[in-house]
Amino acid sequence: MCYDVNAQLETQLKRAMRDADEHAIREIREKMARETDLPLFHVTGFQHPKMIIYTNGNPNAPVVSQWGLVPFWAKDKKDIWNKTLNARGEAIFEKNSFKTSAKNKRCLIYIDGFYEHHHHGKETVPYYISRKDLQPIALAGLWNEWTDPETGEIRNTFSIVTTEGNPMMAEIHNNPKMAGPRMPVILPDGLEDEWLKPYRDELDQKQLEELLRPYPESELAAHTVGKLRGKDAVGNVPEAMVPVVYDDVKTTY
């Protein structure tokens, strides 16, 4: 699970800035950034925000992409893109909606942190999760280009790959309806580019699947924040990440 994120422009662009010249930097900042919905202090995937991703096609070039992968064969985005916000890592090479992307269209999404809901009695308490060192979180993703049959418009869309959750995530995300803790795939420093390597054979697939593991909780911090859903939702404002204390709920990890 990973349906709620905090993604700042600088965080999303950091990778591009490593090797961009001044002209490229200006192009990116002045043109591309305006096509996104950044900054996103809190957004849910169900709003299908436009963000920046880095694809295997050109790993250092930022691309505007919309959250909620629409497979190329889909006739209409509406029925599918609320169901493809996440892609179960164990099955990305099997599922119709993801298999071609898993082979040929993998991507990185850099975010500052993400949110999960904890259930305490009848109350729902959101947590904000980030790296302890506050560095950008590199998420493993899948992307695709989909042509809208109605407008002819080509849309770039993406999905966040998930894996089993670490013990901290299991404690936080304790929705009774769910069967097994999950968390987004966070690629450790130095391994991001492995996710963008070409797929040639079964061995490559094995190596890609090796990357889809839970990130160690020792590197993650979490604290309770204000409501993210419903009429009390804090909205897309910096206050979304500000700590909020709830009775009888662990405040920080």
**Which residues lie near DNA (CB under 7 A)?**
1, 3, 44, 46-47, 71, 73-74, 80, 82-84, 86-88, 91-92, 95-98, 117, 119-122, 124, 162, 165, 167, 170, 173-182, 227, 229-232, 248
Tell the residue number behind the tokens 């990890």, with chain if given. 253
Tell the residue number behind the tokens 């990973």, with chain if given. 2
Residue 196 Cβ vs DNA, minimum distance, rounded to whole Å: 20
Q: Which is nearer to DNA, 153 or 232 (CB)?
A: 232
Q: Which is nearer to DNA, 94 or 189 (CB)?
A: 94
Q: Which is nearer to DNA, 133 or 150 (CB)?
A: 150
> What are the strands, taking DSSP E only, across the chain?
4-7, 40-44, 50-55, 62-67, 86-88, 106-111, 113-120, 123-131, 137-147, 154-164, 182-184, 220-224
Tell the residue number behind the tokens 């975010």, with chain if given. 111
Residue 58 Cβ vs DNA, minimum distance, rounded to whole Å: 24
Residue 35 Cβ vs DNA, minimum distance, rounded to whole Å: 21
Residue 132 Cβ vs DNA, minimum distance, rounded to whole Å: 21
Residue 181 Cβ vs DNA, minimum distance, rounded to whole Å: 3
Phi and psi dihedrals of 140, rounded to 5?
Answer: -80, 130
Residue 10 Cβ vs DNA, minimum distance, rounded to whole Å: 27
Q: Which is nearer to DNA, 24 or 170 (CB)?
A: 170
| Strands across the sheet containing 220-224 | 40-44, 4-7, 113-120, 123-131, 220-224
Q: Rounded distance, CA 16 to CA 20, Å?
A: 6
Residue 244 burial (10 A CB sphere; 0-12, 13-18, 19+): middle
Q: Which is nearer to DNA, 3 or 195 (CB)?
A: 3
Phi and psi dihedrals of 25, rounded to 5?
Answer: -60, -45
Q: Which is nearer to DNA, 63 or 170 (CB)?
A: 170
